Chains A and B, each alone.
Chain A
């Protein structure tokens, strides 16, 4: 498999990714990678990783109005309390420091508000944080809703499929977003009904579907204050699979104990129909 006269070590591959090779060495590694597609794929992943990591933290490498205060408070706090006992006071120290940082942040925010300089950055940072929170908790909430309600025989839903238009109006109003209930009959699932549910502490909606064999799946909608779009995600826990995505003001999660490819078709179908209903404003 490997040719003795031209092997490339693991260390060489890292040095290649990290840009520590001379042009000649690079060429040698590249020729070797051409003949070793599996390792080439690995190297490609490492390169992508490096790009993503740099992007993730690049924004932190900046100075801050608080930096000088950081320096001053450090030298002062070190005078009365030399070296060792720091660990004891660690928690209080951190808490105080955090309060100080928050206060500084508020001051900065207020100052920024006057000049209009900092406010947008702060606001957008805050929005980013919330989006992550929503995105992370959505599949978990969808899974627990599924586990609780899909096993209910008689009270699985509050409003049955026979009152479909009422259901759509009611939940749409509570969600503050026009709703049309997806029709999944092409995939063999018919609507059982729906209910109001808290999602991220706000009114959310759940629809339940069932196929001819009694397999159930749920579609959960919750508000997402952040106007973002994400790609489809899948999250599975204890055999329960959830596809979820965020599309503007609403986060969606499709959950079921069905094969993944079927659930994906359901998610696709839901996405298509929700998207269409939004476009027509119905």
Chain B
């Protein structure tokens, strides 16, 4: 199995008993999983929900883990949960929940309008295209890894990546932003 750039960090030390170690390994993955969860959904509460769903599933299915690359396995589970969620929400539209859990990124210096524009553009992507884009761009997985994780041919990975990038670029076109002229 090919290794991702930052995959396979499931650690090599072996002190605690096996069951605890699995949980510790999962715990160590939580930050990365939190980021990936948030990158798949529309709001912070949705991201935390998806994260919890994923952790639950990972723990419930630990017997099915083949012992290789826990990170990629957890990301696959998250990807599928994200897709189900997307489908569920498409059939059961809900009022957006935007209560603030104080979980947002700390780095908030960037233009809030620019961020919300990017988020809106992302929300226009299909769940499949969005997952591929996030796995590659944010999580740093290689195309072959993504293909394995999503159980799709590499050609499909490439076409999804391509579609996601084009659609995002189209939505983010600069022609509706005019930089403010400061008269001083």
Contact = CB atoms under 8 A, between A and B. Distances in A.
B163 to A, nearest CB: 11
B128 interface: no
Nearest to B141: A18
Interface string B6-33: 0000000000000000010011001110
Contacts of A121: 102, 106
A109 B102 CA distance: 9
A77 B183 contact: no
Contact of B107 (A55, A68, A108): A55
Interface string A214-240: 000000000000101111111100000
B137 A63 contact: no
Contact of B158 (A14, A125, A135): A14
Contacts of B51: 70
Interface stretch (A96-104, A166-174, A188-196, A197-205): A96-104
A268 B181 contact: yes
Contact of B100 (A53, A67, A129): A129
Contacts of B49: 94, 97-98
Give the contact-size bracket for chain A.
35 or more
Interface string B142-184: 1100000000000000100110010011001000111111110
A-side interface mostly = helix
Q: Which of A73, A97, A125 has the most CB of B within 10 A?
A: A125
A14 B30 contact: no
Interface in A143-194: none
A88 interface: no
Contacts of B179: 231-232
Interface of B: 23, 26-27, 30-32, 34-35, 37-39, 45, 47-49, 51-52, 55-56, 59-60, 88, 97-108, 110-116, 118-119, 122, 133-134, 136-138, 142-143, 158, 161-162, 165, 168-169, 172, 176-183
21 contacts: A53-B122, A53-B134, A55-B107, A56-B105, A94-B49, A98-B45, A98-B99, A101-B48, A125-B100, A126-B100, A126-B102, A132-B113, A132-B116, A229-B180, A230-B112, A231-B177, A231-B179, A233-B178, A243-B178, A245-B180, A264-B178
